[in-house]
Amino acid sequence: MPRYRSARSRFSWSKLVLAILTVVCALAVIWTGYLLYTQKLSQVTAIIILAVVIAVLIWDAFLLSRHKVGPGVAFAAFVVTSLVGSTVCAFSCIEPFVAAKRQVAYYAQSFSSPFTQKLPLGTVELSKGQIPSASQYPADISGRVIIPERVIAKWSADAPDPLELTHEEGKVWWIIEVSVRNKAYKEPITSRYQDWPLKVSDGVYYAKSYQDQIRAAYPLSVPSGGTGQTTFRFLVPDTLKVGEAQLAYRGSEGVSYGALSGGERVPLYDWDSKTVINEPFETFWVYGKKMRLRTVASWSGNETAHIRYVAGKSPWVVNWSYDQTSKIASNFYAFVITEVGYQRLDVSTVPVQGGLGALVGIAWTSDKDGSIVVPQAGSFVIVVEASGVHWRVKVGME
């Protein structure tokens, strides 16, 4: 007696997948047509995408019409449709597909460009060669470099006082104020730090956040034909000169290079307000109490320093602080002495003789945070004896 399959046994998961993929392809055709209509895609790009999507749609429909479809064929259709859908999303400015497309375009360009990536993102190093000369790029870029002795910023808007952004020895912060005009990039130019390498003859640097909490750049979104400004913060060797570096932006239509200018050194840069502060009002310790004074000079370092300072008026105050950097041993003491006293003093005897500093100068101390109030004007030497620490010294006046 013949056996008959039930209606349930004729169900095919492979055909269900193909049916879903057919709907996805149909939606992709509609969406690509919308992007073409709204001029968010160029005609050439839209026609190519439409041709591929329609071809995949016809292929899916043909597979559905077959009597039996194996899981291998359905999986192949799924992979092809996923690639097509990802392409449509990438050209629709949908993240993370846009970032992936930009990365693919950059890798493709690197095969024929000296601007080639060798290491993973974040530690990228470029092949050695000359910095590209200026020419017509998809974007006009210019940057002004400011090199502050100190950079301050807040962890959050609610923080009562800003903190100083420290760095390792031999490095300095570069603040780069960037202006950009988007001439040919279809996608908006943003301030993603991965897209803005600072190129030098033997490598690159990327904008650097501070302990993953204080951002490395201010937000930017420049559509095609628009202009915009942003500010980046790079940590570079203190020997790097402005003329030896060039800022680059890498987008889907290629890499654009911009010239850098400036390079002036300033006492302090406020990252939150994006302003240079020549004589900032800061909190000083004066006889154990907090007081707001103008910072007229500041220094930092990791080793011994004898700093000559001429005070035009009095009183004035010296504040210092330090962080231990060596796990083996550390040493720190500081004092202020008149120039005359400094000439006849063996500073190495101060920790031993103690009060000698007060007799010929003002005072000395080894406290981790402290201050010295100087009640007279004239020529002085601020002596910092240090090892195994990173120290900061500043002078304040009313």
Read off the pLDDT band of 235 (50, 70, 90).
Answer: very high
Is there a single domain that holds both residue 119 and residue 84?
no
pLDDT of 138 above 50 = yes
Lowest mean pLDDT among 25-34, 81-90, 117-126, 318-327: 117-126
CB 339 within 8 A of CB 308: yes
Helix (H, G, I), strand (E, B) or coil at 367: coil
The reported pLDDT for the residue numbered 279 is: 73
Read off the pLDDT band of 347 (50, 70, 90).
Answer: low
Closest to 194 (Cα-Cα) out of 117, 93, 111: 117
Which domain covers residue 338, as residue numbers? Answer: 279-397
Q: Is residue 6 part of a domain?
A: no
Average pLDDT, the chain: 77
Q: Tell which wins on pLDDT, 332 or 7.
A: 332
Q: pLDDT (tens digit, 9 = 90+) per residue, 197-216?
A: 998 877 889 998 887 788 99
The reported pLDDT for the residue numbered 92 is: 58
pLDDT of 284 above 60 = yes
Is there a single domain that holds both residue 366 and residue 327?
yes
pLDDT of 117 above 90 = no
Is there a single domain that holds both residue 301 and residue 236?
no
Is there a single domain that holds both residue 261 and residue 334?
no
- Residue 230: which residues within 8 A CB-CB, separation 6 or more? 178, 180, 191, 217, 218, 219, 220
Q: Is residue 107 part of a domain?
A: no
Return the CATH number at 350: 2.60.120.380
Is there a single domain that holds both residue 158 and residue 242?
yes
Single residue among 273, 306, 332 that ends a domain in this structure: 273
- Strands 254-270, 139-153: parallel, antiparallel or unpaired by DSSP? parallel
Read off the pLDDT band of 68 (50, 70, 90).
Answer: confident
The reported pLDDT for the residue numbered 195 is: 92
Residue 394 dihedral angles phi and psi, to the nearest 5°: -140, 150
Would the pTM of this model clear 0.85, i.e. be above it? no
Domain tally for the chain? 3
Read off the pLDDT band of 59 (50, 70, 90).
Answer: confident
Tokens 């006492």 belong to which residue?
267
Single residue among 239, 273, 307 that ends a domain in this structure: 273
